[in-house]
Every structure is written in structure tokens, then in C-alpha cells.
């Protein structure tokens, strides 16, 4: 029997029992749809993390900071007594000696009461350097940003976020006006563009940004270890190379890099990707139970079909049909049944993934893409075809094994 003829005969048999065929493929449809939806929605986690990292600087971000003053060792907490701290001078040395870096900035944060006239709030004060904008992908909207001159002179100037502009100045032009940070007076020189709230940038619009050196002299005093270095590698691929160069630079500056921690956005992406894949595998495994149940349904219905068509099988064998012709016919019917269910399942799963992505985006207030990969769709299609072959083989073999005389005597 030719394959095309077998497909035609198989489809004709399925059309004769439409309701039964639909109910049989239901398990396959549900299983494939669930697997495609889970894999698609889970795959969006990595893309969300990449998008969030782009909002605060990009996937090439590297953070260098002093190890905690208290560390856990052998089940107990002990003081970390090493004498090395990140200094402002380390920034220039790293920029000069790390060719894999695109830029670097030093930052520090503290909370203070900020007031203007009769309005006051507790806000985050961020001390930083001129490359803060590029490092955090956050730029000035009105006025100007902090300059090297402000850093050198330790000027009492500040740049405010859009929420601070709204709450303290009621959206009036604040350039040149004063506000108080604690008991210190600062002149507003700029307003940052609205950052908005997301998983990675919650509360950024409520920041007040001042020169790093001003932060050190007016708010930090003699406290050490308050500076963090934020760097950007030239590309995502050069992150490890950039980290190695920073470690060499810190070794030259402080004798050993072991005093410092090095954290990269690439680590977050890998961790999120690993967790996402584990969740996808677990949920996909649960959804695969429906595929197994659907396969059993196909085997059951094909056994019923063999019983119903026993005389037809005997007649075909009597007029010359070979064993492999009967085997091919019933096997094709099972595969067609399974593949049809698989195609419908892929379509439903893709639609379900899109709807789920929209719901998650609204709940998390972040764009969560449901990415239906061609690879996932092809795997789902291949699995459905395999189920048709695996669970259709026994009924097809049983049908092919009937002798003409036995089949023709069947009532």
C-alpha cells in the first residue's frame, strides 16, 4: 500500500467516527498544549531579566565591592578584619588598565531626610561620578548632570528624580533652587528622565544624586568601605575577561583581590536561565502525563477499530493484501490521529502562552514575552508522531496478524 493511499484510508476511517476521533485526540491536544505553553511562558523569564538589566545598565554590568565586615565561617559569624577598602582612586586606575571595559563609575548610597520649603521626605541619596548616566542607562531631562569639576570641588549640587521633582517642586522648574539633605543645603542642577517602576528599577525616580566626593565629606565622614565600583564590559562576551582585568588591577592596588567581591549581571542571567529550565522541565514532565494518557487512548481506540473492522481485514487479505499493507494502514491511522492532535495542541498551546504572558505582565507590571520557539513546536510535533507510532504499533500488529479465514468468520 502506498503511503498516500494509507493516509487517505486512515482519514476516511477517522471521518466515519468524528466524535470518537476528537475524544481520542483530546489527551494529545491537552498534553501538547500544556507542554508548549509551559515552555513558552517559562522561556520568557530570561528575556524579562535581560530587559530589566538593560533598564539599569545592561547585561555587561560588573559590580566590585568590599567583602562584608562580618562573614560566616564554619557555622559561626566572625569579623572580617582585612584592612583594604575600595578607594576613589581605584576608579581611575581601573579605567586606565582594563581595556575590556566600556566605562566605570563609583557609587554609594544612604538615606536622608530631604526637604524643600514645607515638604520633606525620606529619600535615597546616591553619590556618584559623571559616567553614572551611561552606566545605569538613565539620562538627564532638564539641566545638567554632575561633572568632574563638581567632583573635584566637592560642590553641594544635586540632580533629582522625576518623583522628587513632582513631590517637592510640584513640577515647577527647580534648576537653581535649593533643597536640604539632612541639615546641608544643595542646589538643584538637573532633573533625571522618568525611569518608572519595575523589578529592577523600583524607587529610582525618588533618588537624589550628588557628587561622590561630596557624599564622602558631608555624609560618610571617616567611615570606610562605602564605595562600590560599577563597570560595563564592552560586550556580553567580554564580561569574564573584564572581571579578570579588574581583579589584576585590584591586586596591583591592594595586594590581593581576595578582599573584594565581584558580581556580574551575567551570573544573574545564568541563574535565572537555570531556574527557568528546571521549572520548565518539572512542569513539562507533569504536562507529559497527559500525553501518556492520550497515547493510551489512541491504543484503546485502535484496538476497538481493529475489532470492528476484522471482517474488512479478512476481505482485504483474501484479495491479496499483505501483512505489511494492513500494518501500514492501521499504523498510519494512529499516526494521523496523533499528529492532528499535536497540531491542534501546538496552536492552542501558543494561544494559551500568549494569554498567559499578558496576564503575568499585568500582575508583575513588567513585559513578560511568551516566546513560542520553532524548536519547541518541532519537538512537540515529533513527540505526537512518536506517540502515534508507539501506541499504534500493537493494535496495527494485531490487525496484521489476523488470518483471512479467522477474520472472515468473525461476527
| DSSP result, 20-60 | HHHHHHHHHHHHHHHHHHHHHHHHHHHHHHHHHHHHTT-TT
Within the chain, how many helices (H) and strands (E) appear? 13, 12
8-51 pLDDT per residue, tens: 766 676 677 777 777 777 777 877 787 777 777 766 666 777 77
Whole-number mean pLDDT of the chain? Answer: 78
Query: Rounded to 5 degrees, what angle do the CA atoms 362, 364, 369 make?
Result: 70
Query: Rounded to 5 degrees, what angle do the CA atoms 302, 303, 304 make?
Result: 90
Q: Give this prediction's pTM.
A: 0.66
Q: Which of 139-153, 262-276, 369-383 shows the lowest mean pLDDT across its residues?
A: 369-383
242-257 pLDDT per residue, tens: 999 999 999 998 888 8
What pLDDT sits at residue 368? Answer: 67
Amino acid at each position: 500500500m502506498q503511503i498516500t493511499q494509507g493516509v487517505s484510508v486512515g482519514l476516511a476511517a477517522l471521518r466515519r467516527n468524528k466524535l470518537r476521533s476528537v475524544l481520542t485526540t483530546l489527551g494529545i491536544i491537552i498534553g501538547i498544549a500544556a507542554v508548549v505553553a509551559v515552555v513558552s511562558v517559562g522561556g520568557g523569564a530570561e528575556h524579562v531579566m535581560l530587559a530589566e538589566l538593560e533598564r539599569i545598565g545592561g547585561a555587561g554590568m560588573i559590580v566590585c565591592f568590599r567583602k562584608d565586615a562580618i562573614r560566616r565561617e564554619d557555622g559561626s559569624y566572625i569579623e572580617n578584619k582585612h584592612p583594604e577598602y575600595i578607594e576613589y582612586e581605584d576608579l581611575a586606575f581601573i579605567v586606565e588598565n582594563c581595556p575590556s571595559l566600556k566605562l566605570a563609575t563609583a557609587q554609594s548610597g544612604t538615606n536622608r531626610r530631604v526637604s524643600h520649603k514645607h515638604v520633606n521626605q525620606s529619600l535615597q541619596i546616591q553619590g556618584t561620578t559623571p559616567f553614572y548616566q551611561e552606566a545605569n542607562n538613565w539620562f538627564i531631562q532638564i539641566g545638567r548632570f554632575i561633572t568632574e569639576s563638581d567632583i573635584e570641588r566637592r560642590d553641594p549640587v544635586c540632580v533629582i528624580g522625576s518623583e522628587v521633582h513632582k513631590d517637592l517642586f510640584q513640577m515647577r522648574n527647580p534648576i537653581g533652587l535649593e533643597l536640604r539633605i539632612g541639615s546641608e543645603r544643595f542646589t538643584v542642577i538637573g532633573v533625571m528622565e522618568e525611569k518608572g517602576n519595575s523589578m529592577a528599577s523600583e524607587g529610582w525616580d525618588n533618588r537624589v544624586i550628588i557628587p561622590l566626593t561630596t557624599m564622602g565629606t558631608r555624609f560618610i565622614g571617616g567611615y570606610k568601605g562605602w564605595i562600590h565600583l560599577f563597570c560595563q564590559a564592552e560586550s556580553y562576551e567580554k564580561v569574564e575577561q573584564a572581571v579578570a582585568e579588574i581583579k589584576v588591577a585590584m591586586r596591583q592596588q591592594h595586594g590581593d583581590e581576595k578582599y573584594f567581591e565581584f558580581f556580574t549581571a551575567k551570573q544573574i542571567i545564568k541563574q535565572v536561565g537555570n531556574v527557568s529550565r528546571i521549572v520548565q522541565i518539572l512542569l513539562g514532565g507533569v504536562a507529559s502525563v497527559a500525553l501518556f494518557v492520550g497515547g493510551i487512548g489512541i491504543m484503546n481506540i485502535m484496538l476497538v477499530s481493529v475489532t470492528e473492522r476484522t471482517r474488512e481485514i479478512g476481505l482485504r487479505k483474501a484479495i491479496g493484501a499483505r501483512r505489511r499493507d494492513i500494518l501500514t494502514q492501521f499504523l498510519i491511522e494512529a499516526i494521523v490521529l496523533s499528529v492532528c492532535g499535536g497540531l491542534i495542541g501546538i496552536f492552542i498551546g501558543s494561544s494559551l502562552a500568549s494569554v498567559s504572558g499578558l496576564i503575568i505582565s499585568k500582575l508583575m507590571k513588567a513585559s513578560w514575552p511568551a516566546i513560542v520557539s520553532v524548536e519547541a513546536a518541532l519537538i512537540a510535533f515529533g513527540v505526537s508522531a512518536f506517540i502515534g507510532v508507539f501506541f499504534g504499533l500493537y493494535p496495527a500488529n494485531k490487525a496484521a496478524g489476523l488470518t483471512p479465514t479467522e477474520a472472515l468468520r468473525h461476527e
